[in-house]
Chains A and B, each alone.
Chain A
Amino acid sequence: MPQNAPRISADTPFKKPGSASGRTLRVGLLFGVASVYLCLAGIVESWSRRWVLADVIALGQVVLIVVGVAAGYVAVIRPEPRGGLALLRGIIAGVLAAACTAALLLLGAAINIRAMFINASPTLYAILTGGHDLAPGTAGLLIVGAVCGAGGAVLALLRPRVRSIVLRGLAAVVVLSIFQDLLQVMLQGSGPAAVVRNMLFSVDGPSISGAALVCVGTWAAGAASTYWGPRWRARASAGGAADRRLGGGALTIAIGIAILLVLPVAGGPFVAQVMVLVGLYILMGLGLNLEVGFAGLLDLGFVAFFAIGAYAMALLTSLGEVGIAHWSFWAAMPVAIAVSLVAGILFGIPVLRVRGDYLAIATLGLGEIVRLLVLSDALRPWLGGSFGVLAIPKPRLDGWELSGPKQIYYLTLVASALVAYVAWRLQDSRLGRAWMAIREDEDVAQALGIDLVSTKLLAYGLGGAMGGMGGAIFAVLVGSVFPHSFSLLISINVLVLIILGGLGSLWGVVVGALVLVGLPELLREFGEYRFLVYGIVLVVMMLVRPEGLVPASALQRELHSEEAPGGTRIEVGPVPAGPEGGD
Chain B
Amino acid sequence: MSLIDLVLWAFRLAVLVVVVWGTIATLIVGRYSGPQWVDFVEFGLAQGAIYAMIALGYTMVYGVLNMINFAHGEVFMGGAYTAYFVAQPLGAMGFLDRHLVAGLVFIVLVAMAASMGIALLVERVAYRPLRRAPRLIPLITAIGASFFLQYTFRSFFGAGVQSYPDIAALNGEWVFGGVHVRHTQALVLAAAVVMMLVLYAIVMRTRTGKAMRAVAEDRDAAALMGIDVDRIIVFTFALGGAMAGAAGVLYALVFKQVHFFMGFVPGIKAFTAAVLGGIGNVPGAMVGGLFLGVIESVGPALFLDGLGVPAPYQLRDVIGFTMLLIMLIFRPQGILGERLAAKRA
Contact = CB atoms under 8 A, between A and B. Distances in A.
Contacts of B234: 8
Interface stretch (B100-108, B248-256, B320-328): B320-328
A582 B143 contact: no
Given A11-B129, A351-B329, A361-B68, A542 B229 contact: no
Interface of B: 1, 4, 7-8, 11, 67-68, 85, 125-126, 128-131, 133, 135-141, 143-152, 154-158, 219-220, 223-224, 226, 228-231, 234, 264, 268, 271-272, 275, 309-312, 314-315, 317-318, 321-322, 324-325, 328-329, 332, 344-345
Nearest to B147: A535
Interface of A: 1-2, 4-5, 7-8, 10-12, 37, 40-43, 116-119, 296, 298, 300, 349-358, 360-362, 364-366, 368-369, 372-373, 375-378, 380, 453, 488, 492, 495-496, 499, 529, 531-532, 534-539, 542-543, 546, 581-582
B143 A41 contact: no
B130 A543 contact: yes
A536 to B, nearest CB: 6
Contact of B152 (A2, A351, A532, A581): A532
A376 B314 contact: yes
A524 to B, nearest CB: 15
B145 A535 contact: yes
Given A41-B155, A453-B1, A536-B148, 15 more contacts: A11-B129, A40-B155, A351-B328, A356-B135, A369-B322, A372-B315, A372-B318, A376-B314, A378-B312, A453-B4, A496-B144, A532-B151, A542-B130, A542-B144, A543-B141
Contacts, number: 192
Contacts of B4: 349, 352, 453
A364 B268 contact: yes
B150 A7 contact: no
A582 B139 contact: no
Nearest to A376: B314
Contact of B151 (A349, A357, A535, A543): A535
A7 B231 contact: yes
Nearest to A439: B136
Contacts of B344: 356, 358
A531 B129 contact: no
A539 B125 contact: yes
Contact of B329 (A4, A42, A353, A378): A353
Contact of A8 (B138, B231, B312): B231
A534 B144 contact: yes
A119 to B, nearest CB: 7
B192 to A, nearest CB: 24
Contacts of B133: 542, 546, 582
A474 to B, nearest CB: 23
Contacts of B321: 365-366, 368-369, 372
Given A351-B329, A366-B325, A118 B11 contact: no
A492 B268 CA distance: 15
B67 A531 contact: no
Given A365-B268, A546-B137, A5 B144 contact: no
Given A118-B157, A372-B318, A1 B131 contact: yes
Contacts of A11: 129
B187 to A, nearest CB: 27
A440 B8 CA distance: 27
A5 B228 contact: yes
Contacts of A356: 135-136, 344-345
Contacts of A42: 155
Closest 7 CB pairs of A and B: A538-B144, A535-B148, A535-B147, A532-B151, A41-B155, A539-B144, A365-B321
Nearest to B10: A349
B229 A531 contact: no
Contacts of A532: 147-148, 151-152, 154-155
Contact of A2 (B8, B131, B141): B131
Interface centre among B85, B220, B228, B325 (most CB of A within 10 A): B325
Contact of A378 (B136, B148, B309, B345): B309
A284 B268 CA distance: 24
B37 to A, nearest CB: 22
A372 B314 contact: yes
Contact of A1 (B223, B322, B329): B223
B315 A378 contact: yes
A366 B322 CA distance: 8
10 contacts: A40-B155, A117-B156, A118-B158, A354-B329, A356-B136, A365-B328, A369-B321, A376-B314, A542-B133, A543-B130
B186 to A, nearest CB: 31
Contacts of B345: 355-356
A361 B314 contact: no
Interface centre among B67, B149, B311, B318 (most CB of A within 10 A): B318
B149 A535 contact: yes
A16 to B, nearest CB: 13
A499 B85 CA distance: 37
